[in-house]
Chains A and B, each alone.
Chain A
Amino acid sequence: EAGVAQSPRYKIIEKRQSVAFWCNPISGHATLYWYQQILGQGPKLLIQFQNNGVVDDSQLPKDRFSAERLKGVDSTLKIQPAKLEDSAVYLCASSFSGAEAFFGQGTRLTVV
């Protein structure tokens, strides 16, 4: 089966610009996660969807980050405006039952 697809793989933007990331989860997986992984740290959950509803967005900086999962399949994560400290790898993951989460390769964002 195909894995979790993410695009783009890399993105370089200037601070205060906007950026969007896209994720296509594994077919049939109802749960979708966006994680932020800063260099040298473990992934931190930003937002979790169950189908097209938000389950947990307690650690999402809502003044600049937004995410949506229209139709309960693909998802986009947006940052507007970006700050230097947003430089990180943004990982998308999906799961069917919650016991196993499968991760995409991530999008590496560099804000200069």
Chain B
Amino acid sequence: GEDVEQSLFLSVREGDSSVINCTYTDSSSTYLYWYKQEPGAGLQLLTYIFSNMDMKQDQRLTVLLNKKDKHLSLRIADTQTGDSAIYFCAENTAEDTDKLIFGTGTRLQVFP
């Protein structure tokens, strides 16, 4: 079955690193994504990783993929108050439809 799970909340101090975790079930997913949603806004694609990669780095963002454990993480270095938002991981199903299955989202709160 298709299921993507995330922890609900994460609170970090400004300047620290944040790590948001996600587990998924479809081992044949082609891509895995991280989206950011600010209050009242749509989803903003932050980054994605191809399933044959272990790691992808993009400025302050580092994505780690453990295919064996079906575990995806997003590390945000030097977290800022502007990073406060809900972060969704999503998997692209193996079917041809390119359907995205989203997790429940992790609310990141950054305090000074």
State the A residues within 8 Å of B (CB).
4, 31, 33, 40-45, 48, 55-56, 91, 93, 95, 98-106
**B residues near A33, Cβ cutoff 8 Å:** 100
Does A31 lie within 8 Å of B42, measured CB to CB? no
Does A98 lie within 8 Å of B45, measured CB to CB? no
Residue interface bits B91-110, CB-to-A below 8 A is 1, else 0: 01000111111111100000
State the B residues within 8 Å of A (CB).
4, 31, 35, 40-45, 48, 88, 90, 92, 96-105
A42-B4 CB under 8 A given contacts A102-B45, A104-B42:
yes
**A residues near B101, Cβ cutoff 8 Å:** 45
CB distance from B2 to the nearest CB of A (A): 10
Q: How far is the CA of A55 from the CA of B44 in the complex (A)?
A: 24
CB distance from A107 to the nearest CB of B (A): 10
Does A42 lie within 8 Å of B102, measured CB to CB? yes
Does B98 lie within 8 Å of A43, measured CB to CB? no
CB distance from B108 to the nearest CB of A (A): 15
Q: List 8 interface pairs A-B (beta carbons < 8 Å), by A numbering.
A: A33-B100, A42-B105, A43-B102, A44-B102, A45-B100, A45-B101, A55-B97, A103-B35
